[in-house]
Chain A
Amino acid sequence: GAVVSQHPSRVICKSGTSVKIECRSLDFQATTMFWYRQFPKQSLMLMATSNEGSKATYEQGVEKDKFLINHASLTLSTLTVTSAHPEDSSFYICSARKPDSYYGYTFGSGTRLTVV
């Protein structure tokens, strides 16, 4: 199988603080992980592609200084929302691709971020 664990599942933080979200591949090594953002009743929006040992590739319109991504090992990628504001409140989801696999991607369970 391919299991991705994402933590925390829910977080409430004060405006101006930073929040870190972790994404771990439990039973495989993920050279590439993806971070998505999803608003209610909308599709998943790709924020960035995280590659182990190199800088993340951010999608157009995503502030790389605000959404810091670190993929320091083959099983862990983190997304840090810095100086969070209420408009950053959203559902953040990570996914990983098992190397040499063209099959379905595995997703974390998501993190509901609420900035107050």
Chain B
Amino acid sequence: SQKIEQNSEALNIQEGKTATLTCNYTNYSPAYLQWYRQDPGRGPVFLLLIRENEKEKRKERLKVTFDTTLKQSLFHITASQPADSATYLCALLMDSNYQLIWGAGTKLIIKP
């Protein structure tokens, strides 16, 4: 079965630096790979989606890359701010049943 691995340890980044989060999966590549932000006690919020035939996607300070050879996606936040502190979840949309397979998330802490 498909498994997703995200850095389980919290990631501490100095404000203004680029934060890079990793999402690795084990089996066949998904049709879509998605990144969400989750704040404590709240539901996830969709950030970006990248298709399997895309290498990179950008949205303001966010950038996502997708390497189907490495079975890996990287999520970058440039010019990071303390308000970017949250847990970031990677999710794979596999097939026509529209279910998402979730990583456990990486907690990002941006220090002022």
**Interface residues in chain A, defined as those with a beta carbon under 8 Å from any beta carbon in chain B:** 4, 6, 32, 34, 41-44, 46, 49, 91, 93, 95, 97, 102-110, 112
Given contacts A43-B89, A49-B97, A103-B49, contact A110 B105 (CB under 8 A): no
Residues of B near any A CB (own CB < 8 A) = 31-32, 34, 36, 41-49, 89, 93, 97-100, 102-105
Closest residue of chain A to B46 (Cβ to Cβ) is A104
Contact A104 B89 (CB under 8 A): no
B8 and chain A: residue at smallest CB distance: A41
Which residues of chain A come closer than 8 Å to B45, judged between CB atoms? 107
- Contact assessment for B44 and A107 in the assembled complex, using a CB-CB cutoff below 8 Å: yes
Smallest beta-carbon distance B57→chain A, Å: 12
A96 to nearest B CB, angstroms?
A: 10
Asked whether B34 lies within 8 Å of A44 as measured between CB atoms, the reply is no
Q: Check if A102 sits within 8 Å of B93, measured CB to CB.
A: yes
- Partner pick for B49 among A95, A104, A110, A112, CB 8 A cutoff: A104
Q: How far is the CA of A41 from the CA of B49 in the complex (A)?
A: 23
Partner of B89, one of A41, A44, A102, A108: A44
- Chain A residues within an 8 Å CB radius of B104: 41-43
Verify A46–B99 contact, CB threshold 8 A.
yes
Q: Are B100 and A93 interface neighbours, CB within 8 A?
A: no
The answer on a CB contact under 8 Å between A93 and B93 is no
The CA of A43 and the CA of B93, in the complex, are separated in Å by 15
Give 24 pairs: A residue, B residue, CB < 8 Å, sorted on A. A4-B43, A6-B43, A32-B98, A34-B99, A34-B100, A41-B104, A42-B104, A43-B89, A43-B104, A44-B89, A46-B99, A91-B41, A93-B43, A93-B44, A97-B98, A102-B49, A104-B46, A105-B100, A107-B43, A107-B46, A108-B43, A109-B43, A110-B43, A112-B41
Chain B residues with CB under 8 Å of A91's CB are 41
Alpha-carbon gap, A8 to B61, bound state (A):
34
In the assembly, what is the distance between CA of A91 and CA of B38, in Å?
13
The winner among B42, B43, B97, B100 for most chain A CB atoms within 10 A is: B43
A107 to B46, CA, bound (A): 8
Measured between C-beta atoms, what is the minimum distance from A100 to chain B in Å? Answer: 11
